[in-house]
Amino acid sequence: MLTDLPIFAICGHSGSGKTTLIEALVPRLAAGGLSVAVAKTHAHGIDVDRPGKDSDRLFRAGADVFLHGPDQGFSRVHPPPSTGGRTGPGGAPALQLAALARRYDLVLVEGRKPLPCAKVWLLREGERRPPRALGPALACLSRDADRAEAAWGLLESWLPAQWRRPPVFGCVLIGGRSTRMGRPKHLLRQGRRTWLEHTVGCLRPVAEKVVIAGAGEVPRALADVAHLPDALGVRGPLAGILAAMRWAPWATWLVAACDLPNLSPQAIAWLLETRTAGVWATLPRPAGGRVVEPLLAHYDFRARAILEGLAAEGNFSPSRAADHPKVLTPTPPAALRAAWENVNTPEDLARRRSRGSAK
């Protein structure tokens, strides 16, 4: 799991310069708009609170403690129960590092033990090679090297590629009331195929797996496609999006509504190309201006926290995700914008068909 996430370890013995290197990297990463977490490991345990303080007493009693002030916060948590093996640094389970990767663009780990993630080893004075137990490392940096520049160069090439490692899944949303159309839109036909089949066909070339989310009849030709019920307690398209993201929580999702008859593989490919480090979702603005389109969009697995937050507030409009600073809202190229045009009424459908027959 860790090998597919943006988790990068700075390893070395005590006194090798790990903290100094991380201090040099973090401002440069933050200046590029990336959120960074640092997981620091200690071989002999940690002591972050004075004995006798309320928070220390509560922690020693068995509770996880979260402290919040006007401009900062702090958490002190117990490791989860062992499952028979530990893959995280210094006894911290891999699950905890993965949880950080859901909330940050990059997790830097400072430690000395072998980690199942990308890493560099910092040599101490007189040290010639890293320990054999370290496993493969991207680089071994001596004290006389410009470590900050060397590590920065590694991150510049490694991080964008790492953000593209999670599998790409596709989700087609069906089940709207279609009151203005008068019949289920996903079963309208485009030549010999239904609109649903057309949408699934556009997603399949780039998605490892495609699912259908929402209630409604599915054509026999798509019997092999997983059909997910809407998320309970959630309304509208958000119910289908969250159903998919909960079903495969570590996937990058391409979401498409079923009523986009102009959808093309080229539009899907453009949307996928917006995926990069620091972008949790892409909600395009097809006509420019203020209106975003959340139903032909890209959602990184980190975006689930944004959408779950909306649902918890009773706000079931996925377009509100555009207010989040990690959400990109570009305007597609002019040649592709028709892909975001939906058809809602028989009149819309008739006009579309007349334009098609006139060509």
Structure confidence by residue, pLDDT tens digits, 5-64? 999 999 998 889 999 999 999 999 999 999 999 887 655 555 566 676 777 776 777 777
By C-alpha distance, which of 119, 93, 160, 102 is closest to 3? 119
The reported pLDDT for the residue numbered 1 is 65
Q: How confident is the model at residue 90 (pLDDT cuts 50, 70, 90)?
A: very low
pLDDT in tens, 159-202: 999 999 999 999 999 987 677 787 888 988 888 899 999 999 99
pLDDT of res. 83:
46
- Element housing 319 (H / E): none
Query: What's this model's pTM, rounded to 2 decimal places?
Result: 0.86
For residue 359, the model assigns a pLDDT of 46
Say what the pLDDT of residue 252 is: 96
Instruction: Indicate the Cα dihedral angle 187, 192, 196, 200, nearest 10°.
Output: 170
Domains of the chain: 2-163 (3.40.50.300), 168-358 (3.90.550.10)
**Can you tell me the mean pLDDT for 253-260?**
96
Give every CB contact of residue 78 below 8 A, 6+ residues apart in sequence. 59, 62, 64
Question: Which pair of tokens denotes residue 275?
Answer: 């995926």
pLDDT digits (tens, 9 = 90+) for 284-326: 999 878 889 999 999 999 999 999 999 999 999 999 999 999 9
Q: What angle do CA 174, 275, 197 make, to 5 degrees?
A: 25
